[in-house]
Amino acid sequence: MTTTDSTTLDRGSPLVPGEVVLDERVAPRAPWSAVVRAGHVLTIVDVGGNQSADCLLFADADRSERYSVPDTLAWQGNAYVRTGTVLRSQFGTPLATVVADEVGRQDTIGGACGKESNTLRYGHHTAHQHGCRENFLAEGARHGLSARDLVSNLNWFMNVPVEPDGSLGIVDGISGPGKRVAFRAEVDLLVVVSNCPQVNNPCNDFDPTPLRMLVTTPAGGSR
């Protein structure tokens, strides 16, 4: 899939003031990873708007400690991620804190797409399509991670409401070109991102667009 000519692109800038120590662009449908040092802030820019950034976090010192959806949600007593949410590991340890969010509500329920789950959702004709699970496996393998290390993930810029009767699903995004989210690493973090290739649901408006990843050292110095 390629970005359509009509797509507005806004590459943005760091959401939190500071010295930029990493500035990378993630192509549509591609994976990305980096180690973000404790105290540094990662700003993710939704360059084209409504582009899901599927994300896994691992403690860099011991990658068997990793992001946990249920611990994050149970600890805060709420199903959605937003400014102030502490992203916790399966041991309850804070891995990162969401420090700014221009969307208002981020998803961590919907999980990742994959070739196999796509067959359930859309039909067996989609089995040839690339998915986030494939991005996680490929990028994770560069760091010695495997299928055993893949757990439920964050979906920056994706919108998954839960209705009163428990109905839930991926619906039209509430992000837009140039919208940003930023989180501060509380420990040295391996961040693995899949710039979602999904073209069968509105998680990226049926049109994968780029992401920009900006790591900053907050102004005034840090660790």
Partner 1 sequence: MSTRNTATVLAARDDARARGGTTSDWMPHLPASSSPHPPAGVDPALLTWAETVAPGGYTSRVLARGTRLRLSDVTGDACAHVLLFSAVAPWERLNVADTQKIPWQAYLGEGHPLLSGDGRVLATVVADTSGRHDAFCGTSSDAWNERRYGDAAPQGPSPSGRGLFTLAAAKQGLEPRDLPPSVSFFQGVRVEADGGFRWLGSAGPAEVDLLAELPLTVLVANTAHPLDPRPRFTVGPLRVHAWRSTPTSAADERFTRTPELHRAYLNTLDHAEARGL
Out of 84, 123, 141, 142, name the contact with partner 1 by CB under 8 A.
123
Which one, 24 or 116, has the nearer CB to partner 1? 116
Out of 44, 87, 95, 150, name the contact with partner 1 by CB under 8 A.
150
Backbone angles phi, psi at 133, to 5 degrees: -60, -35
- Nearest approach, Cβ of 105 to partner 1 (angstroms)? 7
Residues 14, 193: contact at Cβ < 8 Å?
no
Which one, 46 or 54, has the nearer CB to partner 1? 54
d(CA 135, CA 22): 21
Q: Which residue has the tokens 């994050």?
A: 72
Which listed range, 2-10, 26-34, 121-129, 212-220, lies at the site for partner 1 (CB under 8 A)?
121-129
Which one, 53 or 213, has the nearer CB to partner 1? 53
Radius of gyration from C-alpha coordinates of the chain: 16
If one asks whether residue 84 binds partner 1 (CB under 8 A), the answer comes out as no
Rounded to 10 deg, the angle between the 132-141 and 115-122 helix axes is 180
**Integer angstrom CA distances of residue 75 from 87, 134, 147, 208:** 10, 30, 26, 33
d(CA 27, CA 209): 7
- Residues of span 92-111 touching partner 1 by CB under 8 A: 92-93, 105, 109-111
Out of 1, 11, 37, 75, name the contact with partner 1 by CB under 8 A.
75
Which listed range, 8-16, 156-164, 186-194, 209-217, lies at the site for partner 1 (CB under 8 A)?
156-164
- Nearest approach, Cβ of 18 to partner 1 (angstroms)? 30
If one asks whether residue 167 binds partner 1 (CB under 8 A), the answer comes out as yes
If one asks whether residue 21 binds partner 1 (CB under 8 A), the answer comes out as no
If one asks whether residue 34 binds partner 1 (CB under 8 A), the answer comes out as no
Element (H, E) at 215: strand 211-218
If one asks whether residue 6 binds partner 1 (CB under 8 A), the answer comes out as no
Neighbouring-strand partners of residue 81: 106
For the chain, give the longest Cα–Cα distance.
Answer: 54
Which one, 17 or 123, has the nearer CB to partner 1? 123
* Strands 154-156 and 53-59, sheet pairing: antiparallel
d(CA 117, CA 29): 17
Site residues for partner 1 per CB under 8 A: 64, 68-71, 73-75, 77-80, 90-93, 105, 109-112, 114-121, 123-124, 133, 146-153, 160, 162, 164-170
